[in-house]
Amino acid sequence: PHPPAAVAAPGPSGGLIPPAVSPRRIEDCLPLLEDSPSKRFSPSKRKQYYINKAIRNSDLIPRAKGRKSLQRLENTRYLMTLLEQDDCGSDEGELTHSATPSIFTEACNNETYVEIWNDFMNRSGEEQERVLLYLEEEARKKHRRKLPVKNEEKWKELPAYTPQECFQRISRRLRATLKRGRIPMGTLEGLEEELLAFFSVTPHSVYTALMDNSFERLLLHALCQYMDLVSASSDIEGKRQMKVSNKHRVFLPPELLLSDYLGQMS
């Protein structure tokens, strides 16, 4: 059934005031679907039907033989496919509630977007291809920016990773010993090199070493606390054995090694 036609109203001077003309949408001008005239369809459903029909009919038209024309045709069909997918997805919800206007529907009602679309369609196939490649690359960059920051990068940003905070992790007694000076820097640097070489390659393994010198064990305990490693000593057949393990999933040495930090303090 068609809606009743608007009737002119009498004016104050006896004349007739023409009825207000409401803007008409393209969907309202589309005829009913051919395959089921008795069934009522939403305007967007009818619009999608004629879009699909136009796309199918375009397959009957002989294709252009030039490479540029073929490229433009492929670009146009690619964008029309996006429009088809977007509209089909929104129509499914119209049976229960009014669907939110799709991105393409809003774009078609925006004069700025229409100008951009017309500019794109008037470009050559190579220019259209460059635009599409640029948009795809920008989308990938945006996706990468949304990815969570790696654990290593987060760890490096933590205050506890600075040399000062690393040094504060060392027990008070060991810190006092290190501040007194007369530390055998060669021994300390040798232990640093061993731990760095071991945990950089196998961060989940356990480093073991037999150490009879009590002062070397003290330096190793202090070094492990500075590097946020776990150290423990035990007796093995009358000898002292040191075991060092990493409690994190990755091993990241501090920005400044303990030997360098002590060198700055002196």
Q: Are residues 67 and 157 in the same domain?
A: no
Tens-digit pLDDT profile for residues 13-59 = 555 555 554 555 544 554 555 554 445 556 666 666 666 665 555 55
Give a yes or no: residue 160 inside a domain.
Answer: yes
CB of 264 closer than 8 Å to CB of 258 = no
Q: Are residues 186 and 232 in the same domain?
A: yes
* Residue 233 predicted with pLDDT over 80: yes
Give a yes or no: residue 8 inside a domain.
Answer: no
User: For position 178, which CATH number holds?
Assistant: 3.30.1370
Range with the poorest average pLDDT among 68-82, 118-132, 223-237: 68-82
Q: Tell me the residue range of the domain where 182 lies.
A: 153-265
Beta strands in 142-253 (DSSP E): 207-210, 230-236, 239-245
Q: Are residues 90 and 119 in the same domain?
A: yes
Total tally of structural domains belonging to the chain: 2
Q: How far apart are CA 140 and CA 77, in angstroms?
A: 22
Q: Are residues 71 and 187 in the same domain?
A: no
Q: Are residues 138 and 185 in the same domain?
A: no
Tens-digit pLDDT profile for residues 216-228 = 999 999 999 999 9
Boundary (domain end) residue, out of 125, 146, 167: 146
Q: Are residues 28 and 132 in the same domain?
A: yes
Give a yes or no: residue 2 inside a domain.
Answer: no
CB of 206 closer than 8 Å to CB of 244 = yes
pTM tops 0.75, yes or no: no
Give a yes or no: residue 136 inside a domain.
Answer: yes
Reported as type and span, the H/E element at residue 45 is helix 43-58
Give a yes or no: residue 162 inside a domain.
Answer: yes
Give a yes or no: residue 79 inside a domain.
Answer: yes
Boundary (domain end) residue, out of 146, 170, 193: 146
Q: Are residues 26 and 118 in the same domain?
A: yes
Percent of the chain with pLDDT over 90: 27
Q: Are residues 141 and 163 in the same domain?
A: no
CB of 33 closer than 8 Å to CB of 46 = yes
Boundary (domain end) residue, out of 121, 146, 171: 146
Q: Are residues 28 and 138 in the same domain?
A: yes
